[in-house]
Amino acid sequence: MEKHLVAGHMAENLIGSEIIKLAWEINARINEGQKIFNLTIGDYNSDIFPIPETLTEQIKIAYDEHQTNYPPGEGILPLRSAIKNYLKEEGKLDYSTNEILVAGGSRPLIYAIYKTLLDPKDTVLFPVPSWNNNHYVHLTGCKGIEVETSPENNFLPVLKDFKKYLSKVHLIALCSPLNPTGTCFSKKTLSSICKAVVKENEKRKEKGKKAVYIMYDQIYWGLASKKTPHVDPVSLYPELRDYTIYIHGISKVFAGTGVRVGWAWGPEKIIGKMRSLLGHIGAWAPKAEQKATASFLETKKEVKTYLNWINEEISFRLEGFYEGFKNLKHHGHSVDALKPQGAIYLTVLFDLIGQKTKDNKTLETVADVTKFLLEEARVAMVPFSAFGSKTKKPWYRLSVGTCSKDDVNNILESIGKALLTLQK
């Protein structure tokens, strides 16, 4: 007798976030008393990285003023005006308040972009490793083309990776600084992709075909290294203004992951459709947090002070880990790292497959390497396979948002001791 499906096809085949699942598994072990350095989740320890003081104060004030009723579906006007000014001053991007949409973090906005632009027969192109695009493909029922990237290109896509697919796609999903790699597009690399999209859309316009859009997730904008200036599509090619939707918010640059205020901006018609979609879902950010964020963004001096502080703190950790892994490599260990360029992540290689543990077991898979690091070094990181990568090399995302300055040396020391137990 056949079993009846409990849910629809999409839900029956839905897979939860691999990163969140791993993080909660590690947290459960920590709660049991195990000493583990948890570098898995893209979040902050709020005791080490608190949100800006002014933002905290303004949230309290807004609740004291009973700002707890429904906000407008597009976001309150003071916040959209503050975002408009922020984009103009920090990014030289000139958008009206009608081209800006506020929601409860970036996730609903990304979902809305997929759902607004893509029909089931349409195709989205995205690089791997990258964050959650495979899941948004499943949620919206569209088709996905995954393009494997390489360490030689800092795990960022280049035009030759995309070129043969351009005529088939309707959305290109890009992110910079990139989660999970902590690397950023160069002006040259992004320009070549943008130029190709402009040419493709010129062809489609002549033939009356649906355009190709770019989703540009720059949620880590503001956390790009000074040595790697942030670049974006419309600044490079103004012709892409009608075809680019951006993602940003306070979750990463202002450590407000749980405050849930994100925003998108782009063509007014697309933003309007996204607003209608999210209105039915009820995915708006809380009104009190919106009012507080609006007030904070207008305090330009404090915004700058906070960004300088958080960048210094993150850079200390990323550079410390980077130099530490280079030192381990110099001493003959099979590890490596890519130079950090932005976000809160370091790309690390533990090239340990084929080596034997102290109990004479061979590390045969990425899962074996992950387990070894957890059991022997007491360090938890997320392998790139959790971000869709098919590479057989054990590349990992190391997240620094939850570690103290002292943790950097302690973690490197623990990894070094673990590596000494291996036999090549």
Arithmetic mean of pLDDT, 68-95: 97
Of 131-140, 244-253, 258-267, the one with minimum mean pLDDT is: 131-140
The yes-or-no verdict on residue 1 having pLDDT over 50 is no
Q: Say if residues 27 and 39 touch (Cβ distance below 8 Å).
A: no
Question: How many angstroms separate the Cα of 192 from the Cα of each of 26, 163, 186, 202?
Answer: 41, 10, 10, 16
Contact yes or no for 274/113 (Cβ under 8 A): yes
Model pLDDT for residues 270-325, shown as the tens digit of each residue: 999 999 999 999 999 999 999 999 999 999 999 999 999 999 999 999 999 999 99
pLDDT for 268:
98
pLDDT tens, 205-234? 999 999 999 999 999 999 998 888 999 999
Sequence-distant (6+) residues with CB within 8 A of 180 are: 42, 129, 130, 131, 345, 347, 382, 384, 387, 397
Confidence of residue 13 (pLDDT cuts 50, 70, 90): confident
Mean pLDDT of all residues belonging to the chain: 95
pLDDT given at position 18: 67
Higher pLDDT, 13 or 263: 263
Residue 287 sits at φ, ψ, to 5 deg, of: -65, -40
| Phi, psi angle pair for 100, to nearest 5° | -120, 135
Residue 395 in contact with residue 54, Cβ under 8 Å?
no
Q: What domains can be seen in the chain, in order of their start residue? A: 9-49+305-420 (3.90.1150.10), 54-299 (3.40.640.10)
